[in-house]
Amino acid sequence: MAKNVLKLGDPVISTYTSYGTLTSVMHEDLWPWIFNNFIQIRYAHGWGIFSFDSHQFLLSTCPGISFYNLPQEIVISKWGTSLKQVIKEAIDMGYYLYIYADRYYIACTDYYQKEHLMHELLVYGYDLDQNLIYIADNLDDGKFIQTVCSLDELEKGYWTMSNEYSFWTEVRFLKPIQNINYAIHVEQIITAMENYLNSSETYDLVRDQKYDFGMQAIQRIFTDIEQAAIVGEALDSRVFHLLYEHKLLMELRLSYLMEKSIIERDSTFMELSTILKQDYFKLRNIVLKYNITRDASTLSKISERLQENLMKEKAFISSFITRLQQVKSMA
């Protein structure tokens, strides 16, 4: 077979490549697991980023994904120093590949021939007659898109990376699992929401760096805004997009719980969730505009909008918790 392209849907969330990958390959019956999770937000001091809990383990621990990880030395022992057969055999068996590559060598990226950046990407197809590989990543100004690159570019982007960090050179294979039976866990959702509001720590099996959690983590954004005002630098728009996607999932979670009659239908409360999502979407767009204009007066507007949104959000989630606790008490 000279060409084979696996199905890839539009991602529901995509702040990071792993989020876009998960929500573009997953089956619909994974939604209860999504709704049980993706609530707590943390700030990783070592990476300097905001993310959902278990950020680096989402794909490998997701119950709806078959995930296999091969170190580079095993890849070389079986396929040699070329990705061509690795990609073909994996795709033909229905497996997506999740690898790192240096964007300096990938023509469809902003870093091409300008700056070295080791970054994840999803491989979901090939066309050997055209020497093309189908990839997906946050390549369009941070937007998760489906595109192609040449096999030669991907080969160079992968094989020129240093093996200093094994996660750069490992090749990951993943395939969505069909017909999983995963249930909503109301107690888990309540606990995660309370931890988010109270900035309570989520304890990991391995703590690799210092973290801030929940609302305390989000307070760091105000410091970033103050710093941007001093030096005139751009804001990291990813955290604002993460906050928007956090509220998007909150809206979808609420809608699902109402549709399944887990909590009582309430159109007014549903509308509050939608408005909150829209408020964070507007805030993100203001940040994107500031990053283009660098108009310092916009920063105070961003800070004020964020403060207003957080006040509304605290009230909304507190009410959400109360409704879930009522369900729990009647169980």
Span 74-122, pLDDT tens digits: 999 999 999 999 999 999 999 999 999 999 999 999 999 999 999 999 9
DSSP bridge partners of 19: none
Q: 130 lies in which domain range?
A: 3-176
Whether 237 and 309 share a structural domain: yes
Contact 148, 23 (CB under 8 A): no
Q: Could you tell me what percent of the chain has a pLDDT over 90?
A: 93
Q: Which helix (H) or strand (E) holds 126?
A: strand 118-127
Q: What is the pLDDT of residues 36-59, one digit of tens each?
A: 999 999 999 999 999 999 998 999
Whether 250 and 217 share a structural domain: yes
Q: Please check whether residue 8 lies inside any domain of the structure.
A: yes
Whether 152 and 43 share a structural domain: yes
Whether 162 and 214 share a structural domain: no
User: Given pLDDT bands bounded at 50, 70 and 90, which one contains residue 321?
Assistant: very high
Contact 32, 184 (CB under 8 A): yes
Whether 88 and 198 share a structural domain: no
| Residue 308 identity | E
Q: Could you tell me what percent of the chain has a pLDDT over 70?
A: 100
User: Alpha-carbon distance 109 to 191, whole Å?
Assistant: 40
Opening angle at CA 309, ends 261 and 204, nearest 5: 70
pLDDT at 292 over 80: yes
Question: Domain end: 141, 158, 176, which one?
Answer: 176
Average pLDDT across the chain, whole number: 96
Q: What is the residue whose two structure tokens read 């590949």?
A: 97
User: Which is nearest to 197 in space by CA: 213, 220, 214, 218?
Assistant: 214
pLDDT at 12 over 80: yes
Q: Residue 85's domain is classified under what CATH number? A: 3.90.70
Contact 124, 96 (CB under 8 A): yes
Question: Domain end: 176, 210, 238, which one?
Answer: 176
Q: What is the pLDDT of residues 121-157, one digit of tens each?
A: 999 999 999 999 999 999 988 899 999 999 999 999 9
Sign of the alpha-carbon dihedral angle for 218, 220, 224, 230: positive
User: Which is nearest to 174 in space by CA: 64, 49, 322?
Assistant: 64
What is the pTM (predicted TM-score) of this model? 0.96
Sign of the alpha-carbon dihedral angle for 187, 240, 203, 66: positive
Whether 162 and 191 share a structural domain: no
Whether 190 and 156 share a structural domain: no
Q: What is the pLDDT of residues 171-207, one digit of tens each?
A: 999 999 998 999 999 999 999 999 999 999 998 877 8
Whether 191 and 321 share a structural domain: yes
Whether 124 and 208 share a structural domain: no
Whether 58 and 101 share a structural domain: yes
Give the sheet arrangement for strand 49-52, strand by strand: 49-52, 41-44, 211-213
User: Given pLDDT bands bounded at 50, 70 and 90, which one contains residue 209?
Assistant: very high
Whether 119 and 64 share a structural domain: yes
At 205 the pLDDT is 79
User: Given pLDDT bands bounded at 50, 70 and 90, which one contains residue 331?
Assistant: low
User: Alpha-carbon distance 23 to 31, whole Å?
Assistant: 9
Q: Please check whether residue 181 lies inside any domain of the structure.
A: no
